[in-house]
Amino acid sequence: MAVSNPARPAPGERLCALAEIADPGARGFRFRQDSALFAGVVVRRGALLAGYVDVCPHAGWPLAALDDRFLTRNGDHILCSGHGALFDLADGACVVGPCLGERLAPWPITLRGGDVFTA
Ligand code: FES
């Protein structure tokens, strides 16, 4: 049974303006409630905008050490800084690395009036 994270923001919370995320690029978000921590990442490339929980399925570590350094140099994949796994931007599937066949957990987001919100 999945345990809900009290730090995870409710749907409808504004995260940032779309313009604050590079194209291609990504931005990480962290939320804390008491001792609980929720980390998510929003990735952007052209018309693609997707959110994922910032936890690598391999070892459970955060994907990046810095809040805007989630993508490979060419912006084609999400890179885990732990052991170098690469993830598809559109569906979070691991395409190279030790967690091949697994995927990042989705973090639903939506774009409204030029701003990114949790969904
Ligand atoms: S923790 Fe991400 S590849 Fe190992």
Query: In this predicted model, what pLDDT tens digit does every residue of 83-99 receive, in sequence order?
Result: 999 999 999 999 999 99
Q: Ligand 1 centre and the CA of 57: distance in Å?
A: 7
Q: Which domain holds residue 44?
A: 14-118
For 57-77, the pLDDT digits (tens) are 999 999 998 777 999 999 999
pLDDT-derived band at 101, boundaries 50, 70, 90: very high
Domain count for the chain, please give it: 1
Report yes or no: 119 and 10 within 8 Å, Cβ to Cβ: no
Residue 35 covered by a domain: yes
Q: What is the CATH number of the domain that holds 32?
A: 2.102.10.10
Residue 33 covered by a domain: yes
Instruction: Kindly list the protein residues whose Cβ atom lies closer than 6 A to any atom of ligand 1.
Output: 56, 58-59, 61, 80, 82-83, 85, 97-98
Separation between Cα atoms, residue 113 and residue 115, nearest integer Å: 6
Residue 2 covered by a domain: no
Residue 4 covered by a domain: no
Residue 8 covered by a domain: no
Query: How buried is residue 107: exposed, middle or buried, by Cβ count under 10 Å (0-12/13-18/19+)?
Result: buried
pTM equals 0.95
**Atom number, ligand 1, closest to the C-alpha of residue 80:** 2
For residue 94, the model assigns a pLDDT of: 98
